[in-house]
């Protein structure tokens, strides 16, 4: 019977599909403490390793080189220096800001690791590595790293 039926096309088919995801991320006890200090007290805190004495900002529970738990919280001034940056001039879905915008890695005074964040109140063409920066906190804070609106040049 089948050989009497008309031929079916080999025309390539592309299946358009949309994957829906709705993941949750736990910041854990350590991440929560860090974010709560920003939200409730506008303070940036780091964790100091008992092995190598390095201060981690943002904090993590274990030191990556010593694999020991870090428990000593250190309060930082929030001021720091820019170690690297870029200016984003293109747009794609799920970006946190409208381009153009700048973000960079900020080495906080008293910290041994860098924190990535946005740069604001600055001419995008006048950003310089090594420039001094300080955080600008949002009025309404909800327990997110974006409770820091951006880092601005500091006098």
Contacting residues toward another protein, per CB under 8 A: 1-2, 5-6, 8-32, 35-36, 60-68, 94, 143-144
At 100, list the tokens. Answer: 């153009």
> Is residue 148 a contact residue for Zn ion (CB under 5 A)?
no
CB of 147 to another protein, least distance (A): 11
Q: What is the DSSP letter of 64?
A: T
Name which of 54 and 132 has its Cβ closer to another protein.
Answer: 54
Spatial distance between the Cα atoms of 64 and 129, rounded to a whole number of angstroms: 26
Name which of 26 and 155 has its Cβ closer to another protein.
Answer: 26
Q: Which of 112, 118, 34 is nearest to 75 (CA)?
A: 34
CB atoms closer than 10 angstroms to residue 31: 17
CB of 88 to another protein, least distance (A): 19
Name which of 86 and 144 has its Cβ closer to another protein.
Answer: 144
At 85, list the tokens. Answer: 């940056």
Interface stretch with Zn ion, choices 31-39, 63-71, 85-93, 133-141 (CB under 5 A)? 63-71
Site of tokens 């860098």: 114
20 binds, among Zn ion, another protein, none (CB under 5 to 8 A by kind): another protein
Instruction: Let me know: does 152 contact 107? Beta carbons within 8 Å.
Output: no
């Amino acid at each position: 019977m089948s050989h009497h039926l008309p031929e079916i096309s080999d025309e390539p088919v592309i299946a358009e599909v949309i994957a829906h995801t709705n993941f949750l991320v736990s910041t854990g006890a350590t991440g929560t403490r860090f974010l709560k200090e920003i939200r409730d007290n506008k303070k940036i805190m780091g964790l100091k390793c008992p092995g190598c004495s390095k201060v981690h900002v943002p904090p993590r529970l274990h030191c990556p080189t010593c694999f020991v738990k870090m428990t000593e919280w250190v309060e930082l001034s929030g001021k720091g220096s820019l170690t690297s940056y870029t200016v984003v001039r293109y747009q794609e879905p799920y970006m946190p800001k409208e381009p153009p915008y700048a973000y960079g890695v900020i080495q906080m005074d008293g910290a041994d690791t860098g924190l990535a964040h946005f740069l604001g109140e600055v001419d995008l063409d006048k950003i310089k590595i090594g420039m001094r920066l300080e955080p600008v906190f949002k009025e309404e804070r909800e327990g997110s790293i974006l409770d820091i609106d951006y880092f601005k040049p500091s006098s």
